Chains A and B, each alone.
Chain A
Amino acid sequence: MKLIQISSHEAKNPTELSLRQAFELFEPKLRPPFALTIPNPQEYLFLNKAILYGVLCETHVGKAHMKHLHAIVTDGYCCFVSLLVEVVNELYVKLLEPVKSRLIWVTKELINVLAVGVEGLLVCLLRQILGGDFSDGNLWLCFEMATIFMSKWDYLLQVDPMILTSGLYTYLRLLADHSRFVSNPKLEALKQLEIDFCIKVLKEQFPLCLKVGRDLVRLLQDLVHLPKFRAIWKDLVLNQGEFKARGFYGIPQLYNTRTPSEYMLLRITPEMEAQLRFLLTHVKLGNQKRHQAWFAKKFLWEPNRETLIIDIVRFICCAYHPTNEVIQSDVVPRWAVIGWLLKSCTKNYVEANVKLALLYDWLFFEERVDNIMDIEPAMLLMVYSIPRYIDITHTLLEFLFLLMENYDVEHYDILVKGVSTSFSVLVKRGVICSLDVLTSCDALSPILQQARQVGNLKSRKSVNKLVVLVILWATILPLKAWLFFFSEKSESKKRDPVIHDSAGMISHSAVLWLLKYFNGSDFDISRNFSINTIWDGVSEQIGPHVKLKGHTCFTSPNLCCLCVRLENSLHMRGRRTHC
C-alpha cells in the first residue's frame, strides 16, 4: 500500500510521511463501527489525514472511508480539501497511477457535496496538466478534468462560477497545442471534449469570461482555424448581442481588462513556478547558466514542449513582479531570463507567440489599470541587448510596430495609444532615462523611420480596409495549408534574413497559390466575398504595379498572425493623390 514512487537514495517525503503516520496511528478507528465521539481539533486533523491516506491507497474500501469522512466532517470539508491540495501540489508527479485515479474520484465526490475550497483543488489539478506533453498520463488528466467540468457543470456554478473561466483559459491554451498535431487519432476525442467545454463556457457564461480580460483574445485568436471558434470570433466582431452580456460593447472591452495573474499561473506547474521564482530571486546574474540548463532539461527538452515558453513568458511578465530589493540586487533580472527563453525557441511560430506574449500588454497599456512591471521586461531586454545582441532589439522593435499596425486594424487607435503610452510611462517612471537609447542607435533607425512613416500615412483608413479584406480571407485557410506553406519556406531559406527575422513575407506567387487554393474549395468565405471579388478589389485599388506582400509572424493563421503590410505604401499614397 503506497502513495508515491520513491527512487533509491531519495529522502522521505514529509507530506507523504505525515499522512502515512496518521493512517498508521488511526487505522483501528478507520474500520466500522466508527466511533461516535466528537474528536478534538488535533484528533480531527489526524483523522482527516488518516482518511485521506486510506481513500487514496485502499481502493477496495474507498467508499467506506468517504462515508466516514461525511460522518465526522464539521468544517465543510475545508481541512480535507486543503490536505488534498497539498498532495496535488507536492506529490502529483510522484503519485502511483491508481492513486491518481482515486484522486480524481475523491475530487468528484467533494464537488458533489460542494466542499469548501474545492475550486482551489480543481485549479491545482489543472496546473498539473503540462502544455505540449502528449504522454498518456498527461492526456488522461486532460480528459478527466474536462469530463469533471462538463459533468459537474451545475455544481461548479454553485461552488464558484469563476472556476469555469479557469477551465476555459486552460483548455483554450491546451487546444492550441492539441490542434497543432492533427495526425494523432488518440487526441481526437479529447480535442472534441475540450472544444465542447470551451464553447459551452463562452456561449453560456460570457459575462464571466469578460473577467479573463485581454488574454482571452490572445488565446481565441490562436484557435480561429477551428470552425466553432471562428463562429465565436465572428460574433465577437460583428454580433456582440449573441453573448447576452449586458453592456458588452465588443473586443475593446476585453482589451481594456488586464488579465489577472492567477490565469497565467494556470499554465505553469507549481514546480516550474517554484524554480522560476527561485531563479529570479536567488541566482546571481552571470551565474544563472547551470540553473537555466537544469530548468530547460527538466521542462523544455522533450519534443513539442517548446510552446510552454509562451506561458512562462506571460508568467514572468505578469505574475512574477520582483521586490525593489531584488531589483536593486545582483540577482538575474527578468529581461535576461526572457532573452534566454526567446533564444531557446527553435520553431518560428513559437518564437512569434513568445514575442506576442512579451509585448502583449504594450498594445493596450493604460496607466490607470495596467502595471508597469508587465511591460518593463520587454523594454529592458530591448535596451540591454543593444551592445551585444542588437538582433534581439531589432526583432522586438520591429515586431512591436508590426503588432501595432496589424494586430487588430479595426482598433488601430487603441493599439497606437497603448504602445505610445507604454513608451512614455516607461520613461516617466524611470525604467529607462529616455528613448534616446533607441533613437540614437544607427542600427535601429530603419525600423524607427519606417514606423514613423506608417504612422504618418494619411490614407491609413483606406489601407486598413484592404488589410481587413486580406485578413478575412486568410483566416479561413486551414492550419495544414499554413504549415505546409511555412515548412517549405523555412527549410529552403533558413538563413535568409527576411525569414530569420520576426516576419516572413508572402510573395506574389504565394498569393496566387492561396487564390488557387480557395477557388478550388467550397468554403463559405466571410461576408459572401468571393476571392475573386476581393482580389479584383485589391488589385483595382492598388494598381497593377504594386506588389502585395504579406507579413506573417508564423503563428497559426489568425488575425494577428497574418500581419499584412502593404509594402510600397508611399507609392500607393502617390497613386491615390492622382486619383
Chain B
Amino acid sequence: MVPLKDIVPAAQNNINTRFILLDKGIVKTTTTTLSQAQNKTCLALVADETAAVHFQLWGNECDAFESGDIVELSNGIFSYCRNNLLLRAGKRGKIEKVGEFMMAYVETPNLSEIRWVPDPNNPKKYIQEAVISPHSRIFPPKY
C-alpha cells in the first residue's frame, strides 16, 4: 500500500493504495473511438493523509461510490488521459469500498495539478517539475 504522495505517472498498472473520496463531478457518457461503445465516466477528488489526486470512476463504479467512502485501489494506473493526469483502476485494476468516514486527508498537494517531466537521469521515470496549482482546480476547496 503506497501513500498517494509517492505515486508517479507511469504506463503501468501497479498502484495499490487506499484513499477517501472527497467529491464527485457529474457523470459523463463517453464514446470509445475504437469500438464505438458508450461508457460512463466520472471525475472524483480523492485524498489520503499525504496528498490528493483526481480519480476517474468508470462504468458502474460511477454510481457505486459516494463522497465519504474509503476506497482501496489495487493494480491501478496513474497516467494521462486526454491531457488530464488521472488515477484510475483501468482494465486490470479494481476498486473496492472498504469503509466510510474514518480517514484523515489533505487537499494539497494535488498530484494531478503538478507538472511532471522525464527524469534527466532516467528517461523512463517522471519527476515533479512545478506545482501548477496547490489545490484541485476542478474541485476547488469548498470550505
Q: Do A and B come from one complex?
A: yes
Show the binding face of A for B, using Cβ within 8 Å.
Answer: 7-11, 274-275, 278, 282-284, 287, 289-291, 294-295, 297-298
State whether A294 and B101 are in contact (beta carbons under 8 Å apart), knowing that A9-B95, A289-B143 are contacts in the complex: yes
Bound-state CA distance A294–B23 (Å) is 11
In the assembled complex, which residues on chain B have CB atoms less than 8 Å from the CB atom of A298? 68, 100-101
Q: In this complex, what residue of B is CB-closest to A284?
A: B104
Q: Determine the main DSSP class of A at the interface with B.
A: helix
Cβ contact within 8 Å between B60 and A8: yes
Q: Mark B41-68, 1 if CB is under 8 A from A, else 0.
A: 0000000000000000000110011011
Check if A9 sits within 8 Å of B96, measured CB to CB: yes
A474 to chain B, nearest CB (A): 43
20 contacts between A and B (CB under 8 A): A7-B64, A7-B97, A8-B64, A9-B95, A9-B96, A9-B97, A275-B100, A275-B101, A275-B102, A278-B102, A282-B104, A283-B104, A287-B104, A290-B22, A290-B67, A294-B100, A294-B101, A297-B68, A298-B68, A298-B100
Q: Are B101 and A295 in contact (CB under 8 A)?
A: yes
Which of A7, A278, A289, A294 counts the most chain B CB atoms within 10 A? A294
A274 interface neighbour in B61, B65, B96, B102, Cβ under 8 Å: B102
Interface residues of B (CB under 8 A from A): 22, 60-61, 64-65, 67-68, 72, 95-98, 100-102, 104, 142-143
- Specify the chain A residue showing the minimal Cβ separation from B63: A8
Chain B residues within 8 Å of A283, by CB: 104
Total CB contacts across the A-B interface at under 8 A: 46
CB nearest neighbor in B for A290: B22
Task: Report the minimum CB–CB distance from A302 to chain B (whole Å).
Answer: 16
Q: A8-B60, A283-B104 are in contact. Are A289 and B142 (CB under 8 A)?
A: yes
B142 touches A290 (CB 8 A): yes
A274: chain B residues within 8 A (beta carbon): 102
Given contacts A278-B101, A282-B104, A290-B22, contact A11 B72 (CB under 8 A): yes
B104 and A11 contact, CB distance less than 8 A: no
Given contacts A8-B60, A9-B64, contact A291 B96 (CB under 8 A): no
Which of A11, A278, A284 is packed against the most chain B CB atoms within 10 Å? A11
- By a CB distance below 8 angstroms, the chain B residues around A282 are 102, 104
Beyond A9-B97, A283-B104, 10 additional contacts (C-beta under 8 Å) are: A7-B64, A10-B96, A274-B102, A278-B101, A282-B104, A289-B143, A290-B68, A290-B142, A297-B68, A298-B100
State whether A11 touches B98 (Cβ < 8 A).
Answer: yes
Cα distance A274–B99 in the bound complex, in angstroms: 12
B23 to chain A, nearest CB (A): 8
- Report how far A295 CA is from B61 CA in the complex, Å: 23
Closest chain A residue, CB of each to CB of B89: A9
Give the 9 A-B residue pairs with the shortest CB-CB distance, closest first. A289-B143, A294-B68, A9-B64, A11-B96, A11-B98, A278-B102, A10-B97, A282-B104, A275-B101
* Chain A residue, CB-CB nearest to B102: A278
How far, in whole Å, are A259 and B101 apart by their CA atoms in the complex?
Answer: 30
Q: Are A9 and B22 in contact (CB under 8 A)?
A: no
- The winner among A274, A275, A290, A294 for most chain B CB atoms within 10 A is A290
Q: Which residue of B lies closest to A279 (CB)?
A: B101
Q: Which residues of B contact A289 (CB under 8 A)?
A: 142-143
Cα-based distance from A290 to B46 in the complex (angstroms): 13
Complex Cα–Cα for A11 and B97 (A) = 6
Report the bound CA distance from A63 to B81 in whole Å: 58
Chain A positions within 8 Å of B60 at CB level: 8-9
Chain B positions within 8 Å of A9 at CB level = 60-61, 64-65, 95-97
